[in-house]
Chain A
C-alpha cells in the first residue's frame, strides 16, 4: 500500500459497490453453489424429520457422482485456460475404462500395472492431441473432434460393442481389494471425491505457484507475447493436453471400477459436462482467465442440481433444461464482469 505512484481519482461509494459486484462475479462459482445448496435444502422432501437433500449420505453420494466430471473438468480447465478445447475426453474415458476392465477381468493383470497402463494411454492420447495442435497448428476443436471420433472407433474395434464386466469375484485376492479401493470410502468420504479434491489442489497449486502455471495463463491470454517473452508456447500446449489426458484416464479408472464394467459406449457427452462445469466456474473460453476451484464448484453445482431435481422426482429431461439455462446465465455473468 505504500506504492508512491497512483493518483487515480476514484469516488469512494462507487468503488465499494463496484468491488462487491466484482467479488460476486469473481466467485460466481461458489456463489452459485451456495444458492443451489439453499434452494436444494428448502425444496427438499423430508422423511422422519430428516432433510433428505442435506443428509450426509446424500451429500456424499452427490460428491461421488460429481467426481468423474470434476476430475475431467480439472484437466479441461487447463486446456481452456490456454485458449483451446478438448472434445475427446468422453471417448478417451470409454477407451481407458474398457481397457481397464479388459486388463483386470480378462488379461489377468494386477492393479498397479493396470493403473499405470491406463494413465499411460491417457497421456499418449492427450499428448497426441497436443502435438497435433501445437506442431501442425490444427485448431484444437478440429483436432480433438477427430480424436473423439477416432478413440470411439478404436475402443469399439478393439473390444467390440459390448461392456466388459468387472466384478469382484472375477478378480483374485489383494489386487482386487486395492482396485476396489477406488470405489470405497475413507471414513465417510468417498474415495473418488478425495481423488478429485487431491487432483484439484495439486493442479490449483501448480497454476498458482509455478512458472508453468504462469505460462498456462500467459499462453491463453496472448500466445505471441508469451513466445516473445521466452515462454515455450508449444511445449506448454503439449503439456496441458497431456495432463488433461492423464486426468481423464484417472476419471476413467474410477468410472470403470465404480460401475463394475468398462463399456465402449460410455462417456458420451462427458466432454460437454466438463466444459459446462468449467464455464459455469467462470473460466473464459477465450483463455487466460479462470481457476480450478471455480470449475470444481461448477461441477459440484451441476451435481447438486441433478440431485435436487431427482429428489423431487423431476425427470431428467427437465434437468437438461435447467443445465442449459445455467450455462447461458454463467456466460452472461462473465460478459458483465468483462465490462466492469
Chain B
C-alpha cells in the first residue's frame, strides 16, 4: 500500500500511521492511516464526529497523538504545536478563518512576521507589494489596503491560501472551504486548488458536499466513528458507494417522497422593502406567498437577499427600516419584534446555529424551551415537570443525540444542534416556518432526518419557506421555488419546471457575472 512498494506512485508527502487519540471517555481516533502524495487532492469525508477534525488538529499540532507515527516526506516528524506544523510545511485553511477583521489585508498576510525597514519600522511598502504578488499568483486582484472585514469570505480564504504558499507549505488542509461560498466563488476556488495541485502541493480537502468531491478530488478517505473505513481513488467509487461508506448503511431516501396537498395561503408578503444597513443587503419590493402544507424554496446566490427577506418577515430589522405588508391567514400583521412574530405563529431557524440560534453555554433543555416558556408559565412560575416532559418528548421525536437534557448545547454535534434549534419552535404552535440553510455543515444521515422532519411539518399544515444554497436540496424538497437576485425576487419556478439552469438563470438575472478565466459559473450539482 505504501509509496515505497510502488515506485510508480508519486512520493507521499505525508504519511500518518496508526493514529490513535483518546479523550476522556471517547476514543476519537482508533489506528487511522492517512497519506497525502505530492500533486494530489485527497478528500477526507465522514459524518460529524467521525474524527476528521481530530485528525486535522493532530496534523496541525493542536492535539498530540497517543499512538501512531507521522512521517513528512519519509522522515519521522514531531508536530508539537501549530508553529511547528507551519515550519514543517503544513498550512491549515480553517473553516472559521483565523484573521483579524480590523487589520488591513496585507497586515493580516504578514501577521506575526512583519517586514521591517533598516530603521526598524514596519515596512508597509514591501509588505503590500508582496501581498499583491502572492495573490496575483492565485489570479486574484485585490487592494492590499482594504480592511479584512470588507472582504468577502472567498477573498479572505484566498488570502489565507496565498499566505500558506508564501510560507512554503507543501501540504495544505482545507476544512469545509466552500461552506460560505457561492457558485462562482466555488469555481474560482477549485481553479486555485487545481493550480496548487499542479505546483506539486498535497491538498487535504474536507467537505460534506459529496458533489464537490467528485469535481475536485483524486482520492477519498472515509472515516467513521474514529476508524478508517477506506481510501479509494475517486474513479473507483460513485455517490452511492461513498454515502454507504460514510453512513455505514444504504441511505436510499435522502429526500422524502411523500405527496403534499397545499391548502390556503398562510403567509403573504407584498412589496417588502428593507433599507440598507452595514453587512446586510437591502430588499427591493419582494413579494411571495406560501400556502399551508407547502414547502417553498428561496434560491439565489449568497448575498442575494434571502436571509434579509426571512429576517424582515420575522421582524428582525428595526420597524422603521421596513416597508410593505405581511399577511398571516389573510390578516395583515404589524410586527415590530421577533417576539411578536413568534406570537403571530412565525418561526425562524437561522443559518448561524452557534451565533443566532442557540445559547451554547446553556443546556439542551433550556435551549429547546426558550421560545415557548410562556406555554409552561403558571402565574410567574414555570411548570418544570411539564416543560421537561415536552422537551423530552421532542428529544425523542427528533432523535436528538444528547446524554441528557442538562448537557450544554455546545457539546452536541452540528446536526443535533440544528435539531435543538428546530425543537425550539416545534414546541410552539407554528403556522409559518422560516428556515435559512437548515442543513449547512450537517452530515448526510442527519440531513435525511431533517428533511423528513420538514416534510412532516408541512404534512401537518405548516407553511414552510426554505432558503438554501444547496441546489439539489431545493429541487428535491420544494413545491415551488422563488429565486432572488440583488435583493429582488427575480423569478418563480414550479416544481415540475424546476431545473438548475432555470434557477441559475433567475439567480443571475440582474448581475453581470465577472468573467473568471472564461469558465461558466456552476452551482452545486447533484448526480443523477
* Residue interface mask B372-398, A partner, CB < 8 A = 1: 011011001110100000001001100
Tell whether, in the assembled complex, residue A211 and residue B360 are in contact, meaning their CB atoms are under 8 Å apart. Answer: no
Tell whether, in the assembled complex, residue A4 and residue B396 are in contact, meaning their CB atoms are under 8 Å apart. Answer: yes
Tell whether, in the assembled complex, residue B338 and residue A218 are in contact, meaning their CB atoms are under 8 Å apart. Answer: no
Tell whether, in the assembled complex, residue A225 and residue B356 are in contact, meaning their CB atoms are under 8 Å apart. Answer: yes
* Residue interface mask A134-157, B partner, CB < 8 A = 1: 000000000000000000000000
Separation of A7 and B26 alpha carbons in the complex (Å): 12
CB contact between B359 and one of A6, A7, A210, A221 (< 8 Å): that residue:
A221
CB contact between B339 and one of A7, A221, A230 (< 8 Å): that residue:
A230
Residues of A within 8 A of B348 (CB): 228
Residues of B within 8 A of A228 (CB): 314, 316, 338, 348, 350, 356-357
* Residue interface mask B11-46, A partner, CB < 8 A = 1: 000000000000011110000000000000000000
CB contact between B371 and one of A7, A229, A288, A340 (< 8 Å): that residue:
A229
Q: Which of A210, A221, A289 has the most CB of B within 10 A?
A: A221
Tell whether, in the assembled complex, residue B382 and residue A209 are in contact, meaning their CB atoms are under 8 Å apart. Answer: yes
Separation of A6 and B24 alpha carbons in the complex (Å): 17
Separation of A222 and B357 alpha carbons in the complex (Å): 9
Q: How far is the CB of A174 from chain B (nearest CB, A)?
A: 34
A231 within 8 A of partner (CB): yes
Contacts known (A5-B396, A209-B381, A211-B377); A222 close to B24, Cβ less than 8 A: no
Q: How far is the CB of A287 from chain B (nearest CB, A)?
A: 8
Separation of A183 and B392 alpha carbons in the complex (Å): 49
Choose the segment among A9-17, A70-78, A316-324 that binds chain B (4+ C-beta atoms closer than 8 Å). A9-17
A226 within 8 A of partner (CB): yes
Separation of A3 and B339 alpha carbons in the complex (Å): 32
Tell whether, in the assembled complex, residue B338 and residue A222 are in contact, meaning their CB atoms are under 8 Å apart. Answer: no
Contacts known (A224-B356, A230-B339); A217 close to B400, Cβ less than 8 A: no
Separation of A5 and B449 alpha carbons in the complex (Å): 14
Tell whether, in the assembled complex, residue B382 and residue A218 are in contact, meaning their CB atoms are under 8 Å apart. Answer: no
**Chain A residue nearest to B369 in the complex (CB):** A214
A106 within 8 A of partner (CB): no
Tell whether, in the assembled complex, residue B392 and residue A3 are in contact, meaning their CB atoms are under 8 Å apart. Answer: yes
CB contact between A226 and one of B26, B370, B400 (< 8 Å): that residue:
B370
* Residue interface mask A109-146, B partner, CB < 8 A = 1: 00000000000000000000000000000000000000
Q: How far is the CB of A182 from chain B (nearest CB, A)?
A: 28
Residues of B within 8 A of A229 (CB): 338, 342, 370-371, 424
Residues of B within 8 A of A225 (CB): 355-359, 370
Interface size on A, as a range, is 35 or more
Separation of A7 and B317 alpha carbons in the complex (Å): 41
Q: Which of B366, B373, B380, B382 has the most CB of A within 10 A?
A: B373
Tell whether, in the assembled complex, residue A9 and residue B26 are in contact, meaning their CB atoms are under 8 Å apart. Answer: yes
Separation of A190 and B359 alpha carbons in the complex (Å): 41
Q: How far is the CB of A77 from chain B (nearest CB, A)?
A: 16
Tell whether, in the assembled complex, residue B370 and residue A231 are in contact, meaning their CB atoms are under 8 Å apart. Answer: yes
A172 within 8 A of partner (CB): no
Q: How far is the CB of A260 from chain B (nearest CB, A)?
A: 38
A186 within 8 A of partner (CB): no
Q: How far is the CB of B320 from chain A (nearest CB, A)?
A: 16
Residues of A within 8 A of B402 (CB): 5-6
Tell whether, in the assembled complex, residue A3 and residue B395 are in contact, meaning their CB atoms are under 8 Å apart. Answer: yes
* Residue interface mask A222-255, B partner, CB < 8 A = 1: 1011111111100000000000000000000000
Residues of B within 8 A of A15 (CB): 24-25
Residues of A within 8 A of B374 (CB): 211
B399 within 8 A of partner (CB): yes
A160 within 8 A of partner (CB): no
B401 within 8 A of partner (CB): yes
CB contact between B399 and one of A5, A8, A211 (< 8 Å): that residue:
A5
Contacts known (A210-B381, A218-B366, A225-B357); A18 close to B396, Cβ less than 8 A: no
Residues of A within 8 A of B373 (CB): 211, 214-215
**Chain A residue nearest to B353 in the complex (CB):** A225
Contacts known (A210-B382, A230-B342); A18 close to B370, Cβ less than 8 A: no
Contacts known (A209-B382, A211-B377, A230-B343); A221 close to B24, Cβ less than 8 A: no
Separation of A6 and B401 alpha carbons in the complex (Å): 5
Residues of A within 8 A of B25 (CB): 9-11, 14-15, 18
Residues of B within 8 A of A231 (CB): 339, 370
Tell whether, in the assembled complex, residue B384 and residue A221 are in contact, meaning their CB atoms are under 8 Å apart. Answer: no
CB contact between B403 and one of A4, A8, A215, A289 (< 8 Å): that residue:
A8
Contacts known (A4-B396, A10-B25, A14-B24); A209 close to B384, Cβ less than 8 A: yes
Q: How far is the CB of A233 from chain B (nearest CB, A)?
A: 10
B362 within 8 A of partner (CB): yes
B361 within 8 A of partner (CB): yes
CB contact between B362 and one of A8, A212, A288, A340 (< 8 Å): that residue:
A288
Q: How far is the CB of B223 from chain A (nearest CB, A)?
A: 15
13 A–B contacts from the bound complex (CB under 8 Å):
A8-B403, A14-B25, A18-B24, A18-B25, A209-B384, A210-B380, A218-B362, A218-B366, A222-B355, A225-B355, A225-B370, A227-B338, A231-B370
B residues engaging A (CB < 8 A)? 24-27, 314, 316, 337-339, 341-343, 348, 350, 355-362, 366, 369-371, 373-374, 376-377, 380-382, 384, 392, 395-396, 399-404, 424
Which A-B residue pairs are the 7 nearest by beta carbons? A221-B359, A229-B371, A230-B339, A230-B342, A211-B373, A10-B25, A222-B359
Name 10 extra pairs, CB < 8 A, besides A18-B25, A340-B24.
Answer: A3-B396, A11-B25, A221-B359, A222-B355, A224-B356, A228-B314, A228-B316, A229-B424, A230-B342, A289-B361
